[in-house]
Amino acid sequence: MKDKVISTAGSVESVAEWNHGSDSRPSSAGLDEALKALDGCEPVILTPEKERALLWKIDLHLIPIFSLLYGLQFLDKTTVSYAAVMGIIQDTNLKGDDFNWIGISLLHCSYSFSGYIGMILIGSREHLMQKLPLAKITGLNIVIWGGILMLHAACSNFSGLMAVRFLLGIFEASITPAFLLFMSHWWRVQEQAFRTAMWLSWNGIAQIVGSVCSYAMVRGIEKHGYTTLGGWQLLFLATGGLTILSGILFLLLIPDSPATAWFLSKEERIMAIERLRGNNQGIGSKKFKKHQFVEAFTDPQTYYIALFIIISAIPNGFLTTFKNIILKGFGLSADKSLLYSAPTGAVQFVSSLLFGWLADRYKNRMTLAAVAMSISLLGFTLAVALPRSNLNGNLAAYYIIGVAPAAFVLLISCISSNVAGYTKKTTVNAIVFIAYCVGNLIGPHTINLKDGPMYVKAKTISLIAWCISGAILIGLRFHYKRNNAARDKKIRELGDTYQHRANQEFMDLTDIEYAHPQCRLPKTIEQKLTLSP
């Protein structure tokens, strides 16, 4: 591989003459922040050795804290599931379907509320995710939700739990959309699936930690009377405190973009930005663009992703909250039901990393996502068919179901890599996030505690939902394939008129704009935006 001379020649003004639609006036305001950061910089040479060292430095400084925070987000959200077998239902006098609401339903009501408010802000010209520093607003939300989680320990009734769960959802709501934006700010398209899997897989680590810690609290603290607090109260205090500390760490360590990275030299910052040219996405524009907002709602890709998220999240809605109650229904004691849920986290962690790596290696995300869904469908089929007396078989089925999040990882990575244009990307983020909440709102209400201990009805509904989800993945695969073929045909038809406009990669264009002949895409295959299947 030859060394590449990266040219940053050309001022912001010289490349700001061309824009789109209503934003066509000559101004640098609508351009990507990357282009502004490169203005006036000297060219740098990027060798394969330098690029490997730079990528390693970026991974080392960002991936561990992303992984920790995402694992804590999942643990904080699902702590109530462990609390269910640690006495929270009895201690707070929950009746009927109260637990369904405080478990996931109310949390995702607040998630949906946050997503809806986010959509309103995107539709205005004061969208927070564009106007405010990404790392700072994310870190602040993390610290606040940690404090709210600790307040759970002070609740003594349904009303108190409702209030804190709703607030928890509002402040947790930012992390997934924010992390997907970070992915497009730091890594190339072909690097994103595996790195998305790295931090999303920590949902599995969170399950292991939550199960083991809950077991330890029940066995070692609560049963021996070392404290007047219940085990579930200690769990909320411990996880909330850890989240606050991690949020402070996030604020101190994570920069808003490569342009402001404290751990990179000036030359490395230029290289970090320039290596993103092939993404055709840059690191974000501060200007709201109405046509991109509208395009998010007219792009079929948005609806494929959103529909998959809604339907596939239905099983997640009841599995996340009721997993320990389900395990207890197999005849396990409360403490053993906590401990036996840990292997599910291990399966999720390993499968997410494996499928993420395979996706980057073979560049075929949707096919691999469908394979992951098929494996988890086998688990649900066994869960429906096996009798309660077959404890080992039911546990194995429950663990196999843990492969399903790998499909979610690959699907969600399409937002960071295949959706271009900063206003469009943040809009699609909001749409998909609301879809996720809708699915999780439906999920807990597919289960009725009277249907225990096997909950065949809820499992059957989940089985059907994941069959439909697999079909959607295959449909999205063919959608990307058709779009790529149509784009390549246009390029061949343009012939010599197909030209590369200087610095167009950092003009904050959408993926559809790049596929249009008037955008004058580059001739080289490396510089084209490819919708990765």
Per DSSP, the residues of 176-225 read: HHHHHHHHHHHS-HHHHHHHHHHHHTHHHHHHHHHHHHHHHIIIIIITTT
In the prediction, which pLDDT does 278 show? 66
Residue 497: per-residue pLDDT: 60
Q: Confidence band (pLDDT; 50, 70, 90) for 268?
A: confident
Banded model confidence at residue 445, pLDDT cuts 50, 70, 90: confident
DSSP bridge pairs for 4: 46
Q: What is the model's pLDDT at position 527?
A: 35
Confidence bin at 529 (pLDDT 50/70/90)? very low
Cα-Cα-Cα-Cα dihedral of 32, 33, 38, 44, to 10°?
Answer: -90
Looking at every residue in the chain, the average pLDDT score rounds to: 75
Amino acid at 505: E
Of 347, 483, 476, 485, nearest to 412 by C-alpha is: 476
pLDDT at 264 over 60: yes
Q: How far is CA 327 from CA 216, 319, 340, 354, 404, in A?
A: 18, 11, 8, 27, 19
The answer to whether the beta carbons of residues 512 and 418 sit under 8 Å apart is: no
pLDDT band of 16, cuts 50, 70, 90: very low
d(CA 129, CA 466) in angstroms, rounded, equals: 32
Task: Tell me phi and psi for residue 528, to 5 degrees.
Answer: -80, 145
Closest C-alpha among 384, 386, 527, 532 to residue 459? 384
Separation in Å, CA 451 to CA 102, 147, 324, 457: 20, 36, 15, 8
Region 110-116: mean pLDDT is 48
- Check whether 271 has a pLDDT greater than 80: yes
Per-residue pLDDT, averaged over 19-32, amounts to: 42
pLDDT at 291: 83
- For residue 85, the 8-state DSSP code is T
291 vs 219: which has the higher pLDDT? 291
Tens of pLDDT, residues 343-377: 888 898 999 999 989 988 888 888 899 999 999 88
Phi, psi of 47 (to 5 degrees): -90, 160
So what's the pLDDT on residue 172? 79
| For range 146-172, the mean pLDDT | 84
DSSP string, 421-477: SHHHHHHHHHHHHHHHHHHHHHGGGG--GGGTTT-HHHHHHHHHHHHHHHHHHHHHH
Q: What angle do CA 247, 253, 254 make, to 5 degrees?
A: 85
83: pLDDT confidence band, cut at 50, 70 and 90? Answer: confident
Structure tokens at 476: 């999205």
pLDDT score for 192: 84
Residue 121 has pLDDT above 50, yes or no: no
> CA-CA distance, 533 to 521, in Å (whole number)?
20
Query: Any idea how long the chain is?
Result: 533
Higher pLDDT, 379 or 121: 379
Per-residue pLDDT, 513: 73
In one letter, which amino acid is 239? T
For the chain, domains (ranges, CATH) are 5-527 (1.20.1250.20)
Q: Is it the case that residue 8 has pLDDT exceeding 70?
A: no
Measured distance CA(390)–CA(233) in Å, rounded: 34
**Per-residue pLDDT band at 318 (split at 50, 70, 90):** low
pLDDT at residue 21, as a whole number: 38
Tokens 């907002």, residue located: 293
Whether pLDDT at 2 is above 50:
no
Q: Which of 285-289, 318-322, 439-443 has the highest mean pLDDT?
A: 439-443
Helices (H), strands (E): how many in the chain? 24, 2
CA-to-CA distance for 351 and 251, rounded, in angstroms?
30
